[in-house]
Amino acid sequence: MAGTTTNKRAPAKKPAPSPIGETPDDARKRALRVFRALTKAYPDAHVPLNYRNALELLVATILSAQCTDARVNEVTAPLFVKYRKASDWKRIPVPKLEKMIHPTGFFRNKARAIHEATEDIDTRFGGSVPGTMEELLSLRGIGRKSASVLLATIYETPAIVVDTHFSRISRRLGFTAEIDPTKIEFDLAGIVPRKHWADFSLMLNWHGRVTCYARKPDCDACAVRKHCPAFESRGEITWKVKIPAAKRRPAKAKAAAGPGTRREGRPKREKA
Ligand code: SF4
């Protein structure tokens, strides 16, 4: 899964109004229909990172920020043979680790995150990756998204994993108007049944990889097109969404495009 967030604030309790004006009840029903259709369409959906245990998934998730899963799997294959315990990872000198993970990009930040997280796991948790959101967030180098991946995938604990695919498709489906991953998580938590959080995350992630691309989504082949308010506009959002200040266009260009419109293009780069 691509991208790692560092916002450790827990989602608030009350969902925001629907950006497409539907009632919370209608949004819940539609979310369920979307979930069922995606589950039917993608029976083989899976986490595309290779791992055998929680520690390996944690390392792979850190490396996956702004990097393809194929590249991460290439890089981790020899490393997972050589380094098996948190104590093995924490002993790797950071400059050496930086060289080993260099192909995944953002190698300095990632090396530091792996070093700090494995040091914490070894010294504070006896070498075992902890299994609660609170404990995972207490690890240095671990953000909310990485913690959610661990909870949803390894510990079978309800968790919403907000990556770039999830963010983009949630907005296209009109389930949120937010850009901030924690706010998106909070909006979706209000409409997706808790027991489906992990699988819903996986389905949206998979849908983003194979159909609802950032550029030119394949709307005609989409399993949820009849539930998607962006179908007619081919992924272009025609309702109001929140746009980060850095991405706001000059007033003139904005006026020409119409109020509150936003084309969903290349996903926002996330900090490694
Ligand atoms: S109809 Fe198009 S924009 Fe909507 S979810 Fe499907 S692929 Fe994405």
CB-based pocket (< 6 A), ligand 1: 169, 172-173, 211-212, 217-219, 222, 224-225, 228, 230-231, 235
Place 271 in a pLDDT band, splitting at 50, 70 and 90. Answer: very low
Report yes or no: 153 and 201 within 8 Å, Cβ to Cβ. Answer: no
Instruction: State the pLDDT at residue 241.
Output: 85
Mean pLDDT of 121-147: 96
Question: Taking the alpha carbons of 107, 113, 117, 120 in that order, is the dihedral positive or negative?
Answer: positive
Mean pLDDT of 30-55: 97
Mean pLDDT of 144-151: 95
Ligand 1 mutation pick, 173, 206, 262, max ligand atoms within 8 A of CB: 173
Residue nearest to atom 3 of ligand 1 (CA): 235
Model confidence at 266: pLDDT above 80 = no
Ligand 1 mutation pick, 228, 236, 238, max ligand atoms within 8 A of CB: 228
pTM of the model as a whole: 0.83
What are 141's two structure tokens? 């180098």
Q: What is the DSSP letter of 260?
A: T
Instruction: State the pLDDT at residue 157.
Output: 94
Model confidence at 15: pLDDT above 90 = no
261 C-alpha to center of ligand 1: Å?
A: 17
- 255 vs 201: CA distance, rounded Å: 35
- The total of other beta-carbon atoms located within 10 Å of residue 224's CB is 24
Model confidence at 233: pLDDT above 90 = yes
211 C-alpha to center of ligand 1: Å?
A: 8
Question: Residues 6 or more apart from 26 whose CB is under 8 A from it?
Answer: 18
> Which of 2-11, 233-242, 256-265 has the weakest average pLDDT?
256-265
Place of tokens 């983009």: 168
Instruction: State the pLDDT at residue 245.
Output: 63
Instruction: State the pLDDT at residue 17.
Output: 86
Q: Which residues pair with 262 in a beta bridge?
A: 237
Q: Which residues pair with 237 in a beta bridge?
A: 262
**Closest listed residue to residue 212, CA positions, set 237, 192, 234:** 234
Buried b (16+ CB within 10 A) or exposed e, 4-35: bbeeeeebeeebeebbbebeeeebbebbbebb
Largest separation between any pair of C-alpha atoms in the chain: 59
Model confidence at 223: pLDDT above 50 = yes
99 C-alpha to center of ligand 1: Å?
A: 39
- The total of other beta-carbon atoms located within 10 Å of residue 247's CB is 9
- The total of other beta-carbon atoms located within 10 Å of residue 122's CB is 18
- 38 vs 199: CA distance, rounded Å: 10
Place of tokens 């827990």: 10
